[in-house]
Structure formats: structure tokens, C-alpha cells
Amino acid sequence: MESAGDWEKKLVMNELMQAHELTKQLRNHLSPSSPGELLIQKILSSFNKALSMLKSSDSEGEPQRTGPASGTDSPHSVSESPSSENSNRAFLDPECRDGSKKRKMQPKWSEQVRVSSGPSLEGPPDDGNSWIKYGLKDILGAKYPRAYYRCTHSNVQGCAAKKQVQRSEEDPSIFQVMYQGHHTCMQATNVIRGASPASPELKEQQQPQQGVLLNFTTGLKVRTEDLDTQGVNSSSFFPHASTQGANVGGCIFSSSSLDNPFMSTFSSPFMSPATSGSNYLSSVSSCHMNSYGGEGSTSMPTLVTSDINEIISAVPSGLNSSLVDFEFSLDQFDASAFLSSV
DNA sequence: CGCATTTGACCGAA
DNA sequence: TTCGGTCAAATGCG
């Protein structure tokens, strides 16, 4: 539902942000005292300006994508159910699945998972729950199909948790994960233990079960090796995305509660066991915050969308924390700007 | 053999 | 009518 112009603009923004990120990564490779640092600062600053210019013109007439899980967020996910996702599914109806396929009206929030995957890691990192894939659908306008998962215990315990995973078109290393419903099964807590503190069900368990939409924005990137974007064909789309985080070695994300006001204001429940998240963040990506915050100008309409109760950024402590990189997608950008400007 | 995944069909909402 | 979401039989894997 965006005009072509918006769409393109977002693409541009996305590209800029990627460049921005890469620059920051490059910066991380340099010593702080390196002469190149200054150049990088300038480059980053230019990116910021460009971004903020785009952004300000962007937010003029437009609500903001972070919206009610409208999915989307990142420009690439245009495809995100253009129509239905915007509707407020403000009511819970856990049981009304009497055979008929009602559209779900359950709390829903999205997470953006970036995985630069090697052959062994083709799906988004597991969130600590076991999921059963029950469908795969080609989505109109999207290059990659969307995969549908439900909690393994949906039968046994009637667990209503579901998730949808879709690979980003622009950057196949990004997975858009949309969670729906609450885990009512035991396993969520058992299995995860502290392994994935930021896993949604932990959060939602803290949520009052009012049918509000949760918009959970997570950026995480687990870098293993070179990205093999093309090789992944749609049918083998994350083969083992389910099951207890086997591929992530149980160390998936840590809540990046950061030490910013926003977080402490909004996401106290999310501050789960996570341990190293903030450390990681402050050491690796403090520059994000600074640079985005610096421009300050960006008013942060993003978060204002109607139903958002919680927004959180989580960072993986991935397979190799040394290799983990934190990247911002568009809305992460928004969020971070907001965060740092609050 | 039991389980998860795949895949095409079906259904309802828009 | 189209499209997203789900079902369920078939298939594959351990």
C-alpha cells in the first residue's frame, strides 16, 4: 500500500543503511586512533544526513511502517500482506478455530532476523521453541515464499503460538519473523531456560493477554561465513528452522536492553536473563546509537503506531560473539534513533 | 514406526 | 476473484 515513490525511497534508504552499516563494520576493524577513523566519521555523518533527509520527507504524509506489525518494516517486505496486516486484530480469540480458518486475531509482533548463513545455517536462528512447519506460501510480490510454523505442542497442549518466516527480497540474509499468539505450552520456558532470553514467548508471557499487537523489532545477525544467498531455493527454505536452537548452540540472542531510557521505560519485562547483550552493544555498536542519535532531528514517529506496546531490540550473542554483527534494518534505524533521542 | 516437512488444495477475507 | 493462511495426504528422515 505504498506508492511507488515511497517504495523506492525506502529502497534507497535501505541501501544507504547498508552502506552505513558496512562502514561501521569497517570502522570496527580499524583502531580508534587510526587516521581512517576520521574519514569514516565523515562518511557516517554523510550517511546520516542522507538518511535523515530521506526520512523526514518520508514521514511527512505517511504513518510509519513499524505499524501494527504491518509487517514490515523493511522495505523489502512490501509483500507483507498488504491488506490484512494492517487491520487491528485487537481481539484475542484463542479458540475460534472450529475447523474454519479464521484469520488470526492474536497478538502479533515481528522480528527481523538477519542471518548471514553458511550452508549450515540457512534459517533464522531458533528462538528456543520447537516449531512445526505447516505451510509454505508464495506471497504475491515477494521473491521468497513465506513459511508458516506453529508450536509443536499446538496439538497436545493447545499452544497457540505461531510464527511466519519470510526471507527478505533485498537482502536474503534477513529473515522477517512474525510471531503470533502466546505459548501456552510448558516447553517454552523449559527448553529455553536462559538460552534465549529474548525469545518472544518469554516476553509475551509477561504481557497481559489483551489482544494488543506487539511489535517486537529485533535485529540480529549471526555471521558464520559467506553468504550464500542465491543458492537457497525456496523449497529448502530454512530446513531446520524448528527445534531447539540446535544450530545456534543455545546462545542465540541476548536482550539488548541497552541502557537507554526507552528500554527501561518500555521493556522492563523483556530484560530477561540476558547477560551480555548490553555489553556487546555498547562495545560493538555504540556508534550506531551515536551516529543516529546525533542527527537528533528525526522525530520518531515510528513508534507511535497505534498498537505498539513494546519495542525491543535484541542482539544475538550468536555463535561467535566475535563474529556477530549488529545491523539495523529500517525500523531498527527508527527505533535506535528514537532510543537515542529520548 | 513415529515424527517433521513438503506440497497442493481448500477456505475465508478483502 | 485474488491472495494469504491453513489443512492434510504424501513423503522423507532418523
Residue A49: the pLDDT is 67
pLDDT value at residue A145: 87
User: 3-state DSSP call for residue A303?
Assistant: helix
pLDDT of residue A130: 80
Give protein residues whose Cβ lies within 7 A of nucleic acid chain B.
A 83-84, 87, 100-103, 130-137, 147, 152, 235-237, 239-243
B14 C1' to A341 CA distance, Å: 39
Lookup: cell for A337: 534513533
Burial group, residue A112, by CB count within 10 angstroms (0-12, 13-18, 19+):
buried
Q: Look at residue A2 in the predicted model and tell me its pLDDT.
A: 41
pLDDT tens column, A179-198:
877 766 655 444 434 433 33
**Chain C nucleotides reached by a protein CB under 7 Å:** 2-8
pLDDT of A19 reads 74
Sites in chain A below the pLDDT cut of 70: 1-15, 30-38, 40, 47-128, 155-158, 172, 183-342
Query: Closest nucleotide to A106's CA, by C1' atom?
Result: C5
Strand B nucleotides within a 7 Å radius of protein CB atoms: 3-14
Give the model's pLDDT for residue A271.
Answer: 35
Q: How distant is C1' of B11 from CA of A11, in Å? A: 35
- List Cα–Cα distances, A118 to A25, A122, A124, A178, A229, in angstroms: 19, 7, 12, 23, 9
Contact A52, A295 (CB under 8 A): yes
Nearest to A209 by CA among A103, A309, A100: A309
Cell reading at A8: 523506492
Q: At what angle do helices A286-295 and A4-29 cross, to 10 degrees?
A: 130
pLDDT score, position A165: 86
pLDDT digits (tens, 9 = 90+) for A111-121: 555 554 443 34
Query: Alpha-carbon distance A306 to A313, whole Å?
Result: 19
Strand partners, A221: A114, A325
Using a 10 angstrom Cβ sphere, with 0-12 exposed, 13-18 middle and 19 or more buried, the burial of residue A41 is: middle
